[in-house]
Structure formats: structure tokens, C-alpha cells
């Protein structure tokens, strides 16, 4: 049901609270598992996975995808580069930016971490939701995310 002006929206604060608390708990559980098994945290995994799945990504592209500032994104990429997982390459279309690429070590790491991530996420969600509920939630969140991104809601200013 879509909420309209004048509707009883008393359920929205509870929905928001549940959404945020679920996200935090899932993120923390995945963070602990990735750190223990691969020596990385969830935010690093997400950046590495994005770079694997979207070759030629720029720092600005990552910032837009994750709705975080360019400065914070650049610092995160710097850390990945220091670990030897990411390399910056000259962008032939724009000398002011670099294209990011995974190193062989970065690719091995993200592939191994991806298996761990998927297994743990399946355990966490599969133990609480059946397949139909998971699919319905996925559709709802994809629709909400699309609307927020379309309207540029929640984008960082710097």
C-alpha cells in the first residue's frame, strides 16, 4: 500500500526502525564473518565486488553508487590500493580521473569473500524468511531504492 497525504502513517516510523535495525545487524554479522575469514570488512568487500562487476569504474562512480562523499570514497580506494587489491589506471577519456581495476590478488580476495558473503547472508535471511517473503522484500526495496535514486534523495553534498 502506498501512503498518501492524510493516510494514517503511524506504521512508517516502526517500518523505518525495523529497516535500519535489520540492516545494521545484517551488516555487522557479515562484517564479522568477512573480517574473520578474509581480513576485510563489509565496506571493503562491497567496493571490491563493485569493481569486479563493473570494470573501468571511477571514484566518482563508486561514490554515486554507495551514496557517500567523493573524499571518503577516495580514501577507501587509497586503503584498498595500499593493500595491493586495487590499481588506479590512467583514464584515456579524462586526464583528471583514474579508472580503477582489481589486481589479481584483489580478484582472488573478492571471489573468495563473495562465496563467504553469499553463504552467510543465505543463512541469516533464510533462517528468518521463506523464499516468497525474501522475493517480495527484494522487490519492495528495489522499487524504493529506484525511487530514491531517481529523485536523488539522500545523496551526499561533497
Q: Which three cell numbers stand for residue 35?
A: 573480517
List all residues 6 or more positions away from 56 whose beta carbon is below 8 Å from its beta carbon.
99, 100, 101
| Sign of the CA dihedral with 37 first, then 38, 41, and 44 last | negative
Give pLDDT tens digits along the chain (158 positions).
454 445 555 689 999 999 999 999 999 999 999 999 999 999 999 999 999 999 899 999 999 999 999 999 999 999 999 999 999 999 888 888 899 999 999 999 999 999 999 999 999 999 899 999 999 999 999 999 999 989 989 887 65
CA angle (148 as vertex; 147, 154 as ends), nearest 5: 175
Amino acid at each position: 500500500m502506498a501512503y498518501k497525504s492524510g493516510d494514517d502513517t503511524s506504521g512508517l516510523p516502526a517500518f523505518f526502525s525495523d529497516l535500519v535495525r535489520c540492516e545494521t545487524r545484517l551488516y555487522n554479522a557479515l562484517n564479522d564473518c568477512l573480517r574473520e575469514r578474509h581480513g576485510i570488512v563489509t565496506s571493503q568487500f562491497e567496493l571490491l565486488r563493485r569493481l569486479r562487476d563493473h570494470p573501468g569504474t571511477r571514484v566518482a562512480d563508486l561514490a554515486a553508487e554507495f551514496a557517500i562523499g567523493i573524499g571518503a570514497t577516495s580514501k577507501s580506494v587509497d586503503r584498498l590500493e595500499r593493500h595491493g587489491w586495487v590499481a588506479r589506471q590512467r583514464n584515456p577519456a579524462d586526464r583528471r580521473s583514474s579508472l580503477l581495476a582489481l589486481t589479481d590478488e584483489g580478484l582472488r580476495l573478492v571471489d573468495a569473500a563473495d562465496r563467504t558473503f553469499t553463504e552467510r547472508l543465505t543463512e541469516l535471511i533464510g533462517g528468518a524468511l521463506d523464499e516468497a517473503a525474501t522475493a517480495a522484500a527484494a522487490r519492495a526495496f528495489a522499487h524504493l531504492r529506484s525511487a530514491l535514486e531517481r529523485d536523488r534523495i539522500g545523496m551526499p553534498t561533497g
